[in-house]
A and B are shown apart, each in its own frame.
Chain A
Amino acid sequence: METLTIAGKTLALDADGNLANRNDWNEEIARELAAQEGIPELTPQHWAVINFMRSVFEKEGDAPSIRRLTKESGVDTKTLYQLFPKGPAKRAARIAGLPKPKGCI
């Protein structure tokens, strides 16, 4: 299994490179994951999206789609793509310490 070392802590990753264990997550790790995704700084808007994703996951066991993010997180789609370039749903989920959204087949 792949691992990731952040601030002296070694964390297990799943097959998609997301945290294998959601409880390993904290804000410092989020900042580190964001940096890896090419996002140097997490603004309050970033945090609003991340926290919204975590709360939906907590309740429903899957991260929300972009459509739902736009409707319910208060951030419009265009802005979402500026905050998390190239696939906000996938990227924000990773930074939020959640598995990749299932995205149906």
Chain B
Amino acid sequence: MRNILILGGGTAGTIMANKLAAALDDKEWRITIVDGTEEHYYQPGFLFVPFGIYRMRDLVKPRRQYLPGNVRFIPSGIDIIDPGTKTVKLTNGTPLKYDYLIIATGANIHPEQTEGLLDEEWGRSKFDFYTPQGAERLSQFLKGWQGGRLVLSITEMPIKCPVAPLEFLFLADEYFTRRGMRDKVELHLITPLSGAFTKPTSSRVLGEFLERKGIRVTPDFDLGRVDSKEKKIVAWDDTEVNYDVLVSIPTNMGDAAIARSGLGNDLNFVATHRETLMAEGLEDVFVIGDATNLPTSKAGSVAHFESEILFQNFLEHIDGRPPIAHFDGHSNCFIESGFDKGMLIDFNYDTEPLPGEFPLPGVGPFTLLGESRVNHYGKLMFRWVYWNLLLRGMELPIEAEMSMAGKRV
């Protein structure tokens, strides 16, 4: 028996368990997956919770339900990974030996990393929507809010789903408009980036969108601390912005188990080969999803594209052959832009998001970097695709490798 151990049963870990269980003979292989909780959340849905579009109970399912019967699921925390002895120690003390390891422990928010962010006002005048609890508390708060200045503050990059903060503001614009109080609400984006988004073309297009919706943008703001009493955020260079309600995207970090194991960078992300997805300097270890240090988006779509590359390379690797598949950093994100419309961006390590049609040139049906109703339905459909196709490791009609077809340069 050879042992495959998957750490993390979220998006990426679940996809890999399904793909490998279908391809490998269970008389020769034992696949084990470990996760600290039994509930699997559809995280892209968190965005809609503050506005009452989804309820949290619409977004959660038992992890086991999405894992094949011949995969062993261990609900336990992961304490330490020791690549030297090829052992992972669980928080309940059990050591697990592996022949091959896949790290899929994701990323989470860390408000405690910023001075003054996590105090008694957290959940009262300062919120997040990246956790189930945060999104629900914000939903409760917004229902009764009379208006004022809502500041959305991105602490530092990288963050999961880097378009989510923009989507939040687009949906907030719609939410307050529908409630007849848009004129009582100021919406303000504060970002460490030099514009609305990371790359020049999309930054310009999205910047224009924000402007048209009357959403203010303050770029190049490196958050130093939060002052809850005076209700202001202060940059390292002492620039200040006042808020009535702060929606924070706190620092995103890889899991503490990565740090305990000495395998992470300053944000606990694991050094990963950008093409093969093998862990740098470790034997028989692969990394996938938000846990990697790769310069592409931390997104479910990326985890999906990576899973196809990792799967191919894994099968070569266990037969002693070198990796054959190369990840190009492909990312594909729907951007909800409010009032039943959406946008779509498609890019990789080298090509920035460009306007055009997707996936078929001139036909679409999706528009790239432009607004359409179809894109909005694409985003809503994604929840069904996630549970029914993506997690199960099924083929989706989008290639892992990015295509230039339909893009206008």
A1 within 8 A of B: no
B118 within 8 A of A: no
B284 within 8 A of A: no
Cβ–Cβ contact A85 & B237, under 8 A: yes
The number of chain B residues touching the other chain, given as a range, is 10 to 19
A105 to B192, CA, bound (A): 12
A81 to B266, CA, bound (A): 19
A59 within 8 A of B: no
Q: Which of A73-94 contact B (CB under 8 A)?
A: 77-78, 80-81, 85-87
A68 within 8 A of B: yes
Cβ–Cβ contact B267 & A67, under 8 A: yes
A71 within 8 A of B: yes
Cβ–Cβ contact A71 & B266, under 8 A: yes
Cβ–Cβ contact B162 & A67, under 8 A: no
Cβ–Cβ contact B266 & A104, under 8 A: no
Cβ–Cβ contact A104 & B237, under 8 A: no
A66 to B294, CA, bound (A): 18
Cβ–Cβ contact A102 & B237, under 8 A: no
> Which applies to chain B's interface (DSSP): helix, strand, loop or mixed?
loop
A87 to B222, CA, bound (A): 7
Cβ–Cβ contact A105 & B266, under 8 A: no
B316 within 8 A of A: no
A44 within 8 A of B: no
Given contacts A77-B236, A78-B236, contact A68 B266 (CB under 8 A): yes
A103 within 8 A of B: yes
B295 within 8 A of A: yes
Cβ–Cβ contact A102 & B266, under 8 A: no
> Closest Cβ of chain B: how far from A91's Cβ, in Å?
11
Residues of B within 8 A of A105 (CB): 157-158, 162, 198-199, 295-297
B156 within 8 A of A: yes
Cβ–Cβ contact A67 & B295, under 8 A: no
Residue of A68, A78, A80, A86 near B220 (CB, 8 A) is: A86
> Closest Cβ of chain A: how far from B233's Cβ, in Å?
15
Kindly report which residue of chain A lies nearest to residue B198, judged by CB atoms.
A105
B361 within 8 A of A: no
Kindly report which residue of chain A lies nearest to residue B329, judged by CB atoms.
A105
> Closest Cβ of chain A: how far from B283's Cβ, in Å?
21
Cβ–Cβ contact B198 & A87, under 8 A: no
A69 to B162, CA, bound (A): 24
Residues of B within 8 A of A104 (CB): 157-158, 293-296
Write the B203-231 contact mask toward A (1 if CB under 8 angstroms, else 0): 00000000000000000101010000000
A81 to B223, CA, bound (A): 12
Residues of A within 8 A of B158 (CB): 103-105
Interface hub of B156, B162, B222 (most chain A Cβ within 10 A): B222
A75 to B267, CA, bound (A): 19
> Closest Cβ of chain B: how far from A62's Cβ, in Å?
9
Cβ–Cβ contact A81 & B295, under 8 A: no
The 6 closest A-B pairs by CB, nearest first: A104-B158, A105-B198, A81-B236, A68-B266, A67-B266, A104-B295
Seed contacts A80-B236, A103-B198, A105-B157; 12 additional CB < 8 Å A-B pairs = A66-B156, A66-B222, A77-B224, A78-B224, A81-B224, A81-B237, A87-B222, A104-B295, A105-B198, A105-B199, A105-B295, A105-B297
Chain A positions within 8 Å of B, measured between CB atoms, are: 65-68, 71, 77-78, 80-81, 85-87, 102-105
* 20 A-B interface contacts by CB (under 8 A): A66-B156, A66-B222, A68-B265, A77-B224, A78-B236, A80-B236, A81-B222, A81-B224, A81-B237, A86-B237, A103-B198, A104-B158, A104-B293, A104-B294, A105-B157, A105-B158, A105-B162, A105-B198, A105-B295, A105-B296
